[in-house]
Amino acid sequence: MSDTITTKPAHAAQPQQSQQSSQHAAPPQPPSQPDAPRSGKRKLFLLLLAAAIVVSAGAYGSYYYTTGRFHESTDDAYVNGNLVQLTPQVTGTVDAVNADDTQIVKKGDPVVTLDGADARIALLNAEATLGQTVRKVSGLYVNNDFYAANVAQRESDLARAMDDLKRRETIAQTGAVSGEDVSHARDAVSSAQAALDAARQQAEANHALTDRTTIEQHPDVQAAASKVRDAYLSYARNTLPAPVTGYVAQRSVQVGQRVAPGTPLMAIVPLDGVWVDANFKEVQLKHMRIGQPVTLTADVYGSSVKYHGKVEGFSAGTGAAFAVLPAQNATGNWIKVVQRLPVRVYLDPQELAAHPLRIGLSMQVDVTTHDESGTQLAAAVNTTYHTDVFAQYGAAADAEIAQIIAQNMPVSRTAATAAVQKTAAVHRNPARSAG
């Protein structure tokens, strides 16, 4: 019988020893159970979250149905205004430019001047022609008295000739006067009658040139005055005034430049009358009306500065309709695109004065559409832009014409007598004249 001896390695017995030592080192743990308090907190948190969502939804729904649905807003809005172009009315060479970009000019200020030497010469010629015409027409009126005196003289000659004829015919029976003398007397009467008729025709011809008019209103004087007015306007238009008060922009004119009528020289922008063009989507226009209040903010000032205005009107077409290249919606590759309609918003002038805006700045626009009593089409009231700086040219021309006519009018007898007496008094007493 043989004995079998099994030999185990030493490290095989170590796990059992370490397991026994670990069991002796740590006390036994009870079996794990569910965390009841943590699960309750989670349920409470979820309930509170759900309640918060419900309350928020209710608050938003209440806000929307009471306030939110009466507001339409867009950030596709920009400041717009009038760009008043300064253009010449006559051809000329620029000899002065009195304003530059970013500078303000007042209404009527001479902004650009042209060389007016040639126009000045033409004006002087026209004025001389007018003075000469006034003197000629004045002579026509003086001739009325001359022809009237001539007619009176011819009537006197005719009366004398007729008396001579009657006396000769009376004594012709006695033989004191020969038949030849009677014949000569008859010829004298015929000659005096012809002279009277000629004088009357001359008087009527002269009256045809002067009746039912005055020297100032005579056609010849008016024709010459029109030439003076035309020459004066051509001369005055060498000075280009500012049509409105505003800021200079887009100046392109230079000194020495030869310009023609209609050439844009610069633009003048009146910033006190700007407005906002807000481009709303077509789906936002259903409840929008003219006169509804508008709240605006400008990107340049931020949300701290608010402008208040009102809807002034709606454009007659969308931006795509007035584009340089309108969309061809009838083509086969048509894709529907939501259109935008420009809405014009009027701004409060006092707010504009406090926080000026420039053309092209971006705006945030919010329209309150609660009041829908207005219309979407503007009433039959047209805005009128007017300037009277050019009307002053006509008034100055009329004053110049009136002065020329007065200087060339004939001096009346009374005025001439007074002038002679005044001259004589001056010669008699020079000290009184000096005083």
pLDDT of residue 346: 94
| Amino acid in position 137 | V
Kindly report, residue by residue over 195-216, the tens digit of the pLDDT.
888 989 988 888 888 888 888 8
CB atoms near residue 221 (< 10 Å): 23
Tokens of 255: 């000194």
Residue 347 lies in a domain: yes
| Residue 31, pLDDT above cutoff 70 | no
The pLDDT of residue 376 is 85
Least confident of 8-12, 52-56, 217-221, 395-399: 8-12
- Per-residue pLDDT of 224-257, as tens digits, reads 999 999 999 999 999 999 999 999 999 999 999 9
- Domain of 356? 70-93+272-389
What pLDDT band is residue 432 in, cutting at 50, 70 and 90?
A: very low
Distances, alpha carbon 193 to alpha carbons 153, 184, 361, in Å: 11, 14, 92
Say what the pLDDT of residue 223 is.
95
Q: Percent of the chain having pLDDT more than 70?
A: 83
Residues 89 and 180 in one domain: no
pLDDT at res. 377: 83
Q: Based on the domain organization, do 152 and 205 belong to the same domain?
A: yes
Rounded to 10°, the helix 391-408/219-236 angle is 130
Q: Which CATH number belongs to the domain containing residue 285 in this structure? A: 2.40.30.170
Domain assignment present for residue 339? The answer is yes
Is the same domain home to 209 and 290? no
Selected residue with higher pLDDT from 399 and 181: 399
Q: What is the pLDDT of residue 393?
A: 87
Looking at 217, 236, 261, which one is the last position of a domain?
Answer: 217
- Which is more confidently placed, 16 or 249? 249
Would 133 be classed as within a structural domain? yes
Are 384 and 82 spatial neighbours (Cβ–Cβ below 8 Å)? no
Please say which residue of 217, 232, 259 terminates a domain: 217
Are residues 314 and 371 located together in one domain of the fold? yes
310 and 384 share a domain? yes
Q: How confident is the model at residue 68 (pLDDT cuts 50, 70, 90)?
A: low
Domain match, 276 and 385 both: yes
In this structure, is residue 318 part of a structural domain? yes
Last residue of some domain: 175, 198, 217?
Answer: 217
Whole-number pLDDT of residue 296 = 96
Dist. CA 105–CA 244, nearest whole Å: 8
- Quick one: pLDDT band at residue 18, thresholds 50, 70, 90? very low
Mean pLDDT across 141-150: 88
Q: Is residue 154 part of a domain?
A: yes
How many domains is the chain built from?
2
Dihedral Cα 186, 190, 192, 195, nearest 10 deg: -160
Q: What is the pLDDT of residues 72-113, one digit of tens each?
A: 999 999 999 999 999 999 999 999 999 999 999 999 999 999
Residue 350 lies in a domain: yes
Per DSSP (E only), the strands in 19-163 are 71-80, 84-86, 92-97, 104-105, 110-114
User: By CB neighbour count within 10 A (0-12 exposed, 13-18 middle, 19+ buried), where does 336 fall?
Assistant: exposed
Structure confidence at residue 290 (pLDDT): 93
pLDDT at 289: 93
Q: What confidence score (pLDDT) does residue 58 get?
A: 79
- pLDDT bucket at 1, cuts 50 / 70 / 90: very low
Residues 144, 194 within the same domain: yes
C-alpha gyration radius of the chain: 52
CB neighbour list of residue 289: distance below 8 Å, 6 or more residues apart? 311, 369, 371, 372, 373, 374, 375, 376
My answer on whether 87 and 133 are in the same domain is no
- pLDDT at residue 9 tops 90: no
Highest mean pLDDT among 52-61, 142-151, 200-209, 292-301 belongs to 292-301
Does some domain include residue 46? Answer: no
If you average pLDDT over every residue of the chain, what do you get? 83
Provide DSSP, 374-415. S-SS--S--------TTHHHHHHHHHHHHHHHHHHSPPPHHH
Q: Is the pLDDT of residue 16 over 60?
A: no
DSSP state of 84: E
Sign of the torsion formed by the C-alpha atoms of 311, 313, 315 and 318:
positive
279 or 429, which is more confident: 279
Whether 322 is covered by a domain: the verdict is yes
Q: Are residues 318 and 359 in the same domain?
A: yes
Read off the tokens for 333: 């590759």
pLDDT value at position 32?
52
Which 3 state secondary structure label does DSSP give 308? strand
More confident residue, 177 or 337: 337
